Amino acid sequence: MSRLELRGISKQYPTVRANDGVNLRVLAGEIHAVLGENGAGKSTLMKIIYGAVQPDAGQMLWNGEPVAVTSPAQARALGISMVYQHFSLFDTLTAAQNVWLGLDKALKLPEVEARITEVAHGYGLDVDPQRPVHTLSVGERQRVEIVRALLTKPQLLILDEPTSVLTPQAVDKLFATLRTLSRQGCSILYISHKLDEIRALCTQCTVLRGGKVTGQVNPREESNASLSRLMIGAEPPPLKTRAATAGAPVLTVRSMSLDATDEFGTALQDIGFEVRAGEIVGIAGVSGNGQQELMAALSGEDPRAAPGSVTLAGLDIAQASPRRRRRLGLHFVPEERLGRGAVPSLSLAQNTLLTRTEAVSPFGWIATGRVQRLAEDLIARFHVRAGGAGAAAKSLSGGNLQKFIVGREIAANPKLLIVSQPTWGVDVGAAAQIRGELLALRDAGCALLVVSEELDELFEIADRLHVIAQGRLSPGVPVAETSVEQIGAWMSGLWDVQPDMANIA
């Protein structure tokens, strides 16, 4: 029996046809992947199913009956729940209050908090129901979204990149839970750019390219290469790697400890490491273990570090402003694309001015033509799909906006580039491009610090790895001398010795 069927769904935006006659059929209890590169129309299609966007043409059938879903509230009443890639949470409310908004109001808030704790524990998702959302990292917010969707006991669950915040062990547990939901009759629409996940979990896969369906296959009978060809028309180019030739220290952190800024934050405890010119140092860890606090201390957003505890090429920057750090050659890509990496309502050209000042005179005059050319060059160099330099940041797909933001900082020729979650929610082709650019920057002599919850990514591009857990940093270890299993265990704080500068090669 079909749980969901889409017939000829089309959606036109001013500069792009997001969906073009899309047909999709999901059976009851089926785990069905929707695969496509960034900008292929996946998110628009999911929003149409969820009632957040209305199609221009086509028909939707729910349990065999035609329906017109005109709002997310109506979708939830039908039994459809969705976890967005870009989250829909109110920053000023707690996690429990956000979940409560989508549930039966007959439930009291303490009951909701108890159910959140129960479901979160059962799914291996660490969620504190009383924490205000503005204190949560991107990964922790995603966990709240997943738990909120699961509490509605949906007949159709739409998941967009749900494993980006989980350890390999937690991914296995989530997959077991999804398979249990499937056996109970819940259908799952699963969007992921991790082809191994799709092949391991899903029984059907619909592939989109340019808003059209290019194929429907059983992913278990396909290879990563064949899925890539369906998705982007080719296999992603292999990364050209060579052994790093590390030079002099560029970033040095010594015995840095910082108290949490609020009761829900993570205190940093005796953090020590260094990053040399011409190398990539990776930091792995489950979201919410101090990554956010460490990035704030290194970028200059939190200037409370003790004098001398953070140096850039020998200069003390522990209490320097973000502007001074940029002038000294430190550039930073935050994990939050919209709101911190880019201003949603501003154009791509205007967003270049957040961190690039080539087009600004000493007197503050802006050379608008030069700003326009800079944005156009970034769009061309990093293959960003956008309606030109004048397109608003919020109009881009998540992956295309990520390419623009990462490209903006790479093209600045930094001495030190700090990147948080460089390919989160990015398709395999774009991820390969971003990783290739990071490696090329390393080979040109830049020092790079990459914080990622994608272990495969860190093993692919990093030269040395640390793990952060509960505000502590593990010893550094060369990638060639460790394994995914060891790093996965360390992500629970299980390493033998306390980190100190003597451990750093």
Distance (Å) of CA 493 to CA 289, 322, 326, 473 = 10, 30, 33, 9
CA distance 383 to 223: 26
Pairing of strands 80-83, 65-67: unpaired
Distance (Å) of CA 441 to CA 24, 95, 282, 455 = 42, 39, 15, 21
Backbone angles phi, psi at 178, to 5 degrees: -65, -40
Check residue 480 and report its DSSP letter: G
4 vs 288, which has greater pLDDT?
4
Per-residue pLDDT tens digits for 305-355? 999 999 999 999 999 999 999 999 999 999 888 888 999 999 999 999 999
Check residue 306 and report its DSSP letter: P
Question: Quick check: 415 and 328 in contact, CB under 8 A?
Answer: yes
On the question of pLDDT at 505 being above 60, the answer is: no
The letter for the amino acid at 431 is A
The letter for the amino acid at 137 is S
Distance (Å) of CA 338 to CA 151, 404, 408, 451, 485 = 27, 12, 15, 18, 33
CA distance 489 to 485: 6
| Residue 86 structure tokens | 């870009």
The letter for the amino acid at 327 is R
On the question of pLDDT at 385 being above 90, the answer is: no
CA distance 451 to 446: 16
Question: Quick check: 324 and 315 in contact, CB under 8 A?
Answer: no
Q: What class is the 2-232 domain? A: alpha beta
- Domain segments of the chain as ranges: 2-232, 249-329+414-503
CATH 3.40.50.300 corresponds to the domain 249-329+414-503: yes
Q: pLDDT averaged over the chain? A: 89
Question: Quick check: 175 and 99 in contact, CB under 8 A?
Answer: no
On the question of pLDDT at 86 being above 70, the answer is: no
Mean pLDDT lowest for which of 60-64, 404-408, 428-432, 466-470?
Answer: 428-432
| Residue 437 structure tokens | 């650019």
Widest CA span in the chain: 68
On the question of pLDDT at 111 being above 90, the answer is: yes
Query: What is the pLDDT averaged over residues 439-451?
Result: 96
Query: What is the pLDDT averaged over residues 393-404?
Result: 88
The letter for the amino acid at 31 is I
Query: What is the pLDDT averaged over residues 60-69?
Result: 96
Contact partners, residue 489, CB within 8 Å, separation at least 6: none
How many other CB atoms sit within 10 Å of the CB of residue 343?
A: 16
Q: Burial, 108: exposed, middle or buried (Cβ in 10 Å; 0-12, 13-18, 19+)?
A: exposed
The letter for the amino acid at 338 is L
Query: What is the pLDDT averaged over residues 108-115?
Result: 93
CA pseudo-torsion sign 144, 150, 155, 159:
positive
Whether 249-329+414-503 and 2-232 are alike in CATH topology: the answer is yes
Question: Quick check: 164 and 86 in contact, CB under 8 A?
Answer: no
Tell me which long-range contacts 336-343 makes (C-beta under 8 A, separation of at least 24).
Answer: 336/138, 337/86, 337/398, 337/401, 337/402, 337/405, 338/86, 338/393, 338/394, 338/401, 341/401, 341/402, 341/405, 342/393, 342/401, 342/404, 342/405, 343/393
Output the pLDDT for position 503: 42
Question: Quick check: 355 and 343 in contact, CB under 8 A?
Answer: no
Per-residue pLDDT tens digits for 216-270? 999 999 988 888 888 877 766 676 777 778 899 999 999 999 999 887 789 999 9
pTM over 0.75: no
How many other CB atoms sit within 10 Å of the CB of residue 57?
A: 13
- Residue 311: name the closest of 298, 324, 294 by CA: 298
Query: What is the pLDDT averaged over residues 490-497?
Result: 74
Contact partners, residue 417, CB within 8 Å, separation at least 6: 330, 331, 332, 333, 409, 410, 438, 441, 446, 447, 448, 449
Check residue 422 and report its DSSP letter: T
CA distance 335 to 419: 8
- Residue 276: name the closest of 248, 316, 243, 252 by CA: 248
On the question of pLDDT at 484 being above 60, the answer is: yes
